[in-house]
Copies of this chain bind each other. A is one copy, B any other.
Amino acid sequence: MKVYLSGEIHTDWRKEIMDGCAGLDVSFDGPVTDHDASDDCGVTILGAEDSKFWHDHKGAKLNAIRTRRGIEQADVVVVRFGEKYKQWNAAFDAGQAAALGKALIVLHGPDHQHALKEVDAAALAVAETPLQVVQLLRYVLTGQLPA
């Protein structure tokens, strides 16, 4: 099973999930999580821009080569919304996943519940912790519930 881990990049939730799934027949993909590299990749490789808009635009498009493919090839897309920032790219990824018919799992704390209701409504599971994601991936693949 191919799982794409989208969204928040400031905590180690991806590692928690990947470690927790050790031994399962699952492969993980996700965006570049080095914040500076992700922001500057476009101008570093393709040349500087005077305008911040085009600086960002070049980088965002280059990152899209990776992220679109990752979402398109995934069976399951997990999108995590953290405590801070706008995180519109996370919701944007969730929208793509939903429109492509991917199994969508949303991961967020209870205080975002109302603001994320449209995203949650398109999901097959809404989790609060990475451990829950591990448990449900394990169940989906093996039929085993946590003891």
Contact = CB atoms under 8 A, between A and B. Distances in A.
Contacts of A62: 124-125, 136, 139-140
B86 A45 contact: no
Interface in A41-65: 41-42, 44-46, 50-54, 56-65
Interface size bucket, A side?
A: 35 or more
Given A53-B120, A92-B94, 16 more contacts: A37-B139, A45-B139, A52-B114, A54-B54, A56-B114, A60-B117, A60-B118, A62-B125, A62-B140, A64-B122, A65-B76, A65-B125, A89-B118, A91-B91, A92-B118, A96-B96
Interface of A: 1, 32-34, 37, 40-42, 44-46, 50-54, 56-69, 75-76, 81, 85-101, 103, 105, 112-122, 124-127, 132, 135-136, 139-141, 143-146
